[in-house]
Amino acid sequence: MLSHSATNMAEDNKVPTEENATMLQAFEWYIPDDHTHWKRLARDAGKYREIGITAMWIPPPTKASAPSGNGYDIYDLWDLGEFDQKGSIATKWGHKDDLVALANVAERAGVLLYADAVLNHKAAADETERCRVAEVDPEDRTRFISDPYEIEGWLGFTFPGRGDKYSSMKWHWEHFSGTDYNSENEKTAIYKILGDFKSWAQSVDNEKGNFDYLMFADIDHSHPDVKKDINDWGIWIAKLLSLRGFRFDAVKHFSEEYLAEFISVLKANVHEDFFFVGEFWKDSLSDMLAYLDRLDGHKFSLFDAPLVYNFSQASKTESYDLRQVFDGTLVQARPIAAVTLVMNHDTQPHQALEAPIEGFFKPLAYALILLRRDGYPCVFWGDLEGISGEFKEEPSCGGQLADIILARKLYAYGTQDDYFDYATCVGWVRRGTWDRPNGCAVVMSNAGEGEKRMFVGEEHEGEIWTDVLGWQRGEVHIGADGFADFKCPATSMAIWVNQVPGRDQFGTFKAGKGFGKE
Euclidean distance between CA atoms 106 and 402, whole angstroms: 19
Question: What is the DSSP code (8-state) at residue 224?
Answer: H
Euclidean distance between CA atoms 89 and 161, whole angstroms: 9
Up-side HSE of residue 366: CA atoms within 13 Å toward CB?
33
Are the beta carbons of 312 and 356 closer than 8 angstroms?
A: yes
For residue 509, the surrounding DSSP H or E stretch is strand 509-510
**DSSP, residue by residue, 489-516:** -TTEEEEEEES-TTGGGTT-EETTTEES
Of 28, 129, 180, 249, the catalytic one is 249
Strands 140-144 and 127-137: antiparallel
Question: What is the DSSP code (8-state) at residue 361?
Answer: G
Euclidean distance between CA atoms 264 and 337, whole angstroms: 18
Start-to-end CA distance of the chain, whole Å, equals 53
Is residue 116 part of the annotated active site? The answer reads: no
Euclidean distance between CA atoms 193 and 501, whole angstroms: 64
Is residue 249 part of the annotated active site? The answer reads: yes
Euclidean distance between CA atoms 146 and 142, whole angstroms: 12
Alpha helices in 277-412 (DSSP H): 285-294, 305-316, 330-333, 362-370, 381-385, 401-411
Of 279, 346, 383, 403, the catalytic one is 279
- Dihedral sign, Cα of residue 304, residue 309, residue 312, residue 315: negative
Ramachandran class of 235: left when φ > 0, alpha when ψ lies in -120 to 50, beta otherwise: alpha
Residues catalogued as catalytic = 249, 279
